[in-house]
Chain A
Amino acid sequence: MSETRQGAAGATAHELELSYESGVEVEARSQWAYARMRFMRHRLAVVSLVVLILIGLVGAFAPWIAPYGFDELDLDNTTAPPTLEGWHLFGTDQLGRDYLSRVIFGIRTSLWVALVVALLSTAIGTTIGAVAGYFGGQVDNLLMRFTDLILTLPGLAVLLTAAVYFGQDDSVVFGVTIPQPLKIGLILAFLFWTSVARIVRGLFLSLREKEFVEAAKAAGATDTRIMFRHMLPNCVGPIIVNATLVVATAILVEAALSFIGFGIQPPNAALGKLISDGQGEGFNLWWLVTFPGLVIVIIALAINFVGDGLRDALDPTQRRVRG
């Protein structure tokens, strides 16, 4: 591991100290530097991260990368199996639409919906968990009962119902248009915050007994300041790990919703929808079903591996860098 590696965020790694025993220069490392070193040792996680970044870039720059448009018809070239000719790597459907391009646009929608779900559910869950854990007592009881209630709901069914009744088209709130895929993301986020809420609550329950919280209280810090400036930074590791796993779950669930037909609606592209379109074409055109699904598997697998790597890397009790 290179000694010049420095912490990414707020690192104190620049402070060089002289080791008084040998006179060798030793670099002080921040927690983030240690975390990054531990993550880099996790080879599968690093490879997965690279794959994810590549897929993310392909999705982000879909209009420039995709060889064809999302809905571009080519009636001379229908039902072509995967071929190098004309870059139809994933074949074409019965209208001659290039499935590689459709999948690339699908990645774009599915990934950003999943990111919205992860960000929003993490924000909701962290707030609820922090308030419950910090104040305890009746507040905690009420919030946790509410969390239990959400956890006992038949998840997919509630999502389907909500998506059918609220998520089928764009809507305008206070003059701002909310695109339909975003609404599906919001609906998912309102069911996905429970795990992070429980995690944060558990951490807060033990953190609030710590001396530094007592010190902050004695110094006259407000509750909000103690919660978000003093306690929350101690929970960042588990929160990030959980958020990563939420992205994977969100992609799988959104794909299932879109496959059943209640998720993301055309003209928006979505991987799950592409699979159900492909299924509609019959099983002779196997490539229409196979490739979008394969892409989902690769994304979900990569996210889970990255999450695994982060879990090991962000555990501050693990200081060992070398194996």
Chain B
Amino acid sequence: MLQYVVRRLLYSSVVLIAASFLVFVFVAKGAGDPLAPYYLAPNIDKEGLERIAEAKHLNENVFVRYAYWVRDAVTNQFGTTLLTNEPILPDLWRVMKNTLQLVVVAELLAILFAVAIGVYSALRQYSVFDYTATTFSFLGLATPVFWLALMLQVAVVQIYLHTGHRIFPVANLNSVDPGSGLSFVLDRAHHLVLPVLVLMVASIASYSRYMRASMLEVINSDYVRTARAKGLPESKVTMKHAFRNALIPLVTLVALNFGALLGGAIVTETVFSLDGMGLYFVNALNVADPYPVMAWLMITATMIIVFNLIADIAYGFLDPRVRYE
């Protein structure tokens, strides 16, 4: 087991290092000179730009630049941004904390709803409830996340225009003056209602389908029939024998999805202008600054690798038939 984890981590580090080089070449070469647009601006301090190019080694070849980047990443916390020369990591920690709040709340709620919907759909297969749930998950999977977010904003704004009530804020993590203590928490929660709702819809749509399929498979399996045959009450059969085993595949799916979501709900955060990982990344791309883009990609890739590993290990704990080689 320990051997398995160590081997996976070693393998992942190699992949990560190789990927970091490829991505760096990709970002450095693809962008050309990241300062080029600024040279064209009329009132710009050309010497200042040249100083930046010098300090960031932009004139060296790509291997040398990669080496400098690795040095900064390892010894200097991913270094500083291109133009403003600000440290990158403190910003990343701040946005990650915000993203965590959003994603954890949304995923927990989504799992609760999805499991309930999926199990009930499976137990009452082809019932009105089952068909309704299926219809809604099809709709949820066909709806672009950003459009759902916009429609919620449109609805809230229209309600405000017609009644004068602001039900929910449509942007930002907090009001201008959020206060402190409990009022800060309440203000934050109020701002997160719509984003959480948007994130939940997509997750519920896919998790509930998954849960339903997995529950149906277990219900029709031999050992559940055995449990019934030996006279166990139906509630015990579904809850103890079927439900717990049906949850196993969902655990993997959720772990994988969660790892990816830590990279920020890029679309949701953009629409609601939430100061999270996703918006940070989009902003970095917008100013074509390779350094925060690299830092973000590395941290997110690491998260995904770690959560993949967690998913595999969890699977082994939950399903003793799985063996690690």
Interface residues of A (CB under 8 A from B): 149, 152-158, 160-162, 164-166, 248, 252, 255-256, 259-262, 272, 275, 279, 283-284, 286, 289-290, 293, 296-297, 300-301, 304-305
Contacts and interface: CB of A to CB of B under 8 A. Distances in A.
Among A155, A248, A289, chain B packs the most CB atoms within 10 A around the CB of: A289
B155 to A, nearest CB: 9
A160 B157 contact: no
Interface stretch (B45-53, B112-120, B245-253, B298-306): B298-306
Contacts of B267: 156, 256, 259-260
Nearest to A298: B142
Contact of B260 (A154, A261, A290): A154
A255 B27 CA distance: 23
Given A165-B26, A260-B282, A275 B146 contact: yes
B150 interface: yes
Contacts of A297: 139, 142-144, 147
Given A260-B267, A283-B154, A166 B300 contact: no
B157 A154 contact: no
A260 B270 contact: yes
B266 interface: yes
A166 B138 CA distance: 34
Contacts of A161: 23, 26-27, 285, 293, 297
B38 to A, nearest CB: 17
B305 A154 contact: no
B27 A165 contact: yes
Interface residues of B, number: 41
B145 A256 contact: yes
A265 to B, nearest CB: 14
15 contacts: A153-B304, A156-B267, A157-B296, A157-B300, A165-B26, A165-B30, A256-B267, A260-B146, A260-B267, A275-B147, A293-B151, A296-B147, A297-B144, A300-B141, A304-B138
Contact of A160 (B154, B285, B301): B285
Interface of B: 15, 19, 23, 26-27, 30-31, 138-139, 141-147, 150-151, 153-154, 157-158, 161, 260, 263, 266-267, 270, 281-282, 285-286, 288, 293, 296-297, 300-301, 304-305, 308
Contacts of B23: 161
B139 A283 contact: no
Contacts of B143: 293, 297, 300
B144 A255 contact: yes
A154 B147 contact: no
A275 B150 contact: yes
The winner among B19, B154, B270 for most chain A CB atoms within 10 A is B154
Given A259-B267, A260-B266, A164 B146 contact: no
Contacts of A160: 266, 281-282, 285
Contacts of B150: 275, 279, 289, 293
Contacts of B305: 152
Contact of A149 (B19, B139, B154, B157): B19
Contact of A166 (B30, B288, B304): B30
Contacts of A275: 146-147, 150
A38 to B, nearest CB: 19
A149 B308 CA distance: 11
Contacts of B288: 164
A243 to B, nearest CB: 17
B151 A290 contact: yes
A157 B263 contact: yes
B2 to A, nearest CB: 22
A301 B142 contact: yes
A161 B26 CA distance: 9
Identify the interface centre among B19, B139, B144, B282: most chain A CB within 10 Å of its CB. B144
A157 B288 CA distance: 14
Contact of B144 (A164, A290, A293, A305): A293
A305 B134 CA distance: 12
* Residue in B147, B154, B282, B285 whose Cβ sees the most chain A Cβ within 10 Å: B147
